[in-house]
Copies of this chain bind each other. A is one copy, B any other.
Amino acid sequence: MAKPKKTPRPRAETPKGFRDYFGAEVTHRAGMLRKIAAVYERYGFDALESSGVETVEALGKFLPDVDRPNEGVFAWQEDADLDKPGDWLALRYDLTAPLARVYAQHRNDLPNPYRRYAMGPVWRNEKPGPGRFRQFYQCDADTVGAPSVAADAEICAMLADCLEEVGIERNDYVVRVNNRKVLNGIIESMFENQLNNAFPDGISKQGLQSGDVLRERMNALTDDVLRTLDKHDKVGDIGVAELLGNGRKDQSGAFIEGLGLPSYIIEGFLAFLNAKGATNKKTIMQLHRVVENSQVGREGVDELETIADLLAAGGYGPDRIVIDPSVVRGLGYYTGPVFEAELTFEIKDEKGRPRNFGSVAGGGRYDDLVKRFTGQAVPATGVSIGVDRLLAALHAKGRLEDTARGPVVVTVMDRDRMADYQAMVAELRQAGIRAEVYLGNPKNFGNQLKYADKRSSPVAVIEGGDEQARGVVQIKDLILGAQIAENATLEEWKDRPSQYEVPRDQLVAKVREILDLHG
């Protein structure tokens, strides 16, 4: 008789690009989210929790243009319902797209403006890399329905408060603020000039159509300009000028085509990037000079000035929040003010070289997200804090206290006396002390102490038959024991015993004393 084919055992593996988080990794993150939520609440933001699953239609951006619309997202099709094909569903890839859907769906019941915060996992169907995972946390706050830049200013202040609340010290961070409108102003003034040159007598109907074509060219060009400006910290003023102009030879000698912009425009962009002065006031003055010919550009600079004034009034001076036109990241996505929080201290990279820690949060104004659903533009601005990067920063600075202390372990000397040991842990727990009975096979006492070691237990409790008969327990200070084992001479060891015999009814008091000793 043929043996029935055995099903192979399943592999015990996380899917590629996912990971598990253990102990302190979980509690530290939870603690950080709790602190950030408290700041968000203090600023009047309300919690919102939408589900991880949305319709692909509502998420947008990754709309299906192929049979399987999972470019960048995890998506699947619902089972068909009778003869109606099932909806495509997907895991959310951020917390902003769901906010737009929630706001459009519930806008009649929500306060206006609507301040909300949200925190939770998001998923990206991307190639995982070192330190890049396909599920990670976001922690956002947004104000929907407030056109005033007072809303943007407030979010910058809140971001600074959040960083300090989680343990980043003043002067270890800076929130930089820029405005997409200033960039738009420079580009627009260039095209205005072209229009004026082409139609010196005013714009006819035909001219307007040419204007539409110009506008399309302008949008396309804007993307190219953004990509180029973003290289400023690598290639410097001259490199950017070449890339915006007639092209540039890179280090390998290869020639990179330029965008072919006229010099006066290139000068405008460089002046924009370098407009940061010693004070916010100076920066504003220099920006005004850059965009003096463009209405939207002047508006953008005025907004930055208002933001700086509002922040100063709230006590958030340029030691914490600065107007900085070199912030290019984010300019592509946002429509108005953009902000980025950077940690300014140095850490060592993988190769031990010092480098700046860099950005841990970013945000800005995006005024078109709700319009997709309702047809009406709804102004919105918000921030997203990179919780995992922030945790890494605190870790690098040694600022994550090891709150995750192991439990007191009550060892099992006599398995028939389990009830007595359970009574001990119950007493300890009722006193608020983390404690457990050893629940493995108690035969080998060494295994029990190894277990306590693996759990980072501060204290082990021992009560054998002899102790029971005498009404006492042995209490081992495992932290002190480890210190002694590492450092002490025999003399010191004798002076500082790490094991104490106390009457049974002083168990809790003695354990508490040892725990307090180690802080």
Residues on A lying within 8 angstroms of B by beta carbon are: 9-16, 18-23, 25-27, 30, 34, 37, 41-44, 46-55, 57-58, 60, 70, 74-76, 78-79, 87, 89, 91, 101-102, 104-106, 111-113, 115, 121, 123, 134-135, 143, 145-148, 150-151, 153-154, 157, 161, 306, 309-316, 372-375, 404, 406-407, 409, 415, 418-420, 422-423, 425-426, 429-430, 432-437, 439-441, 451, 454-455
Contacts of A74 in B (CB 8 A): 53, 76, 89
Chain B residues in 8 Å Cβ range of A422: 150, 153-154, 310-311, 313-314
**A20: contacting residue among B50, B60, B112, B435, CB under 8 A:** B50
A375 → chain B, closest Cβ, in Å? 7
Whole-angstrom CA separation of A435 from B70 in the bound complex: 42
Q: How far is the CB of A79 from chain B (nearest CB, A)?
A: 7
A322 to B436: give the CA distance in the assembly, Å.
22
| B18, B21, B50: the one within 8 Å of A14 (CB) | B50
Q: List 29 A-B contacts (CB under 8 A).
A: A9-B373, A10-B372, A11-B57, A12-B101, A13-B105, A15-B87, A20-B48, A21-B47, A21-B49, A21-B50, A22-B48, A23-B47, A23-B48, A30-B37, A42-B432, A43-B429, A43-B436, A44-B435, A74-B76, A74-B89, A147-B441, A148-B439, A150-B418, A150-B422, A157-B426, A306-B418, A313-B419, A313-B423, A313-B426
Known A52-B52, A106-B20, A372-B10: A70·B60 in contact at CB below 8 Å: no
Kindly identify which residue among B75, B314, B429 contacts A76, using a CB–CB cutoff of 8 Å.
B75
Within 8 Å by CB of A437, from B18, B154, B439, lies: B154
Contact of A9 among B51, B143, B372, B451 (CB under 8 A): B372
Chain B residues closer than 8 Å to A425, beta-carbon distance: 314
Q: How many copies does the complex hold?
A: 2
Q: What residue in chain B is nearest A415 (Cβ atoms)?
A: B148
Let me know if B58 and A437 touch, CB within 8 A. no
Q: Is the CB of A10 within 8 A of B373?
A: yes
Residues of B within 8 Å of A420, CB to CB, are 313
Per DSSP, chain A at the interface is mixed
The 5 closest A-B pairs by CB, nearest first: A44-B436, A12-B104, A313-B419, A44-B407, A26-B47
A113 x B439 contact (CB < 8 A): yes
Q: How far apart are the CA atoms of A454 and B143 in the complex, in Å?
A: 16
B20, B46, B372, B455: the one contacting A22 at CB < 8 Å is B46
- The smallest C-beta distance from A68 to any residue of chain B, in angstroms, reads 8
CA–CA, A135 and B51, complex, Å: 7
